[in-house]
Amino acid sequence: MPNLNHINRQPPGGIAIPIDALAASMQHAIAVSGLSRTGIYRAAAEGKIRLLKCGRTTLVDMASVRDFLAALPVAQINTGKAA
């Protein structure tokens, strides 16, 4: 798997953040990770993703997102065609 840590993603709002950021806003975490808002909150409720509070702002610990994604099983794709 290629190392994509050097790539910047362009999330909504036009502010690029590096993938290896320590923490990100919910909006940026959604854009970078591909997870939905609900998916992030669900994983956080299960203790799999860490959310941080800074005043009224909720930040997503990106290391925990990377660990969560790395622990997901590989998708088994069935084309439906007989061999």
Q: Output the CA torsion sign for 67, 63, 46, 35.
A: negative
- pLDDT tens-place string over residues 20-70: 789 999 999 999 999 999 999 999 999 999 999 999 999 999 999 999 999
pLDDT of residue 81: 76
The tokens for 23 are 């923490």
pLDDT at 12 over 90: no
pLDDT at 7 over 50: no
Domain around 58: 8-67
Residue 82 maps to a domain: no
pLDDT of residue 65: 96
Residue 2 maps to a domain: no
pLDDT at 71 over 80: yes
List the CATH number of the domain containing 45. 1.10.10
Helix extents (H) in 1-83: 26-33, 37-45, 62-71
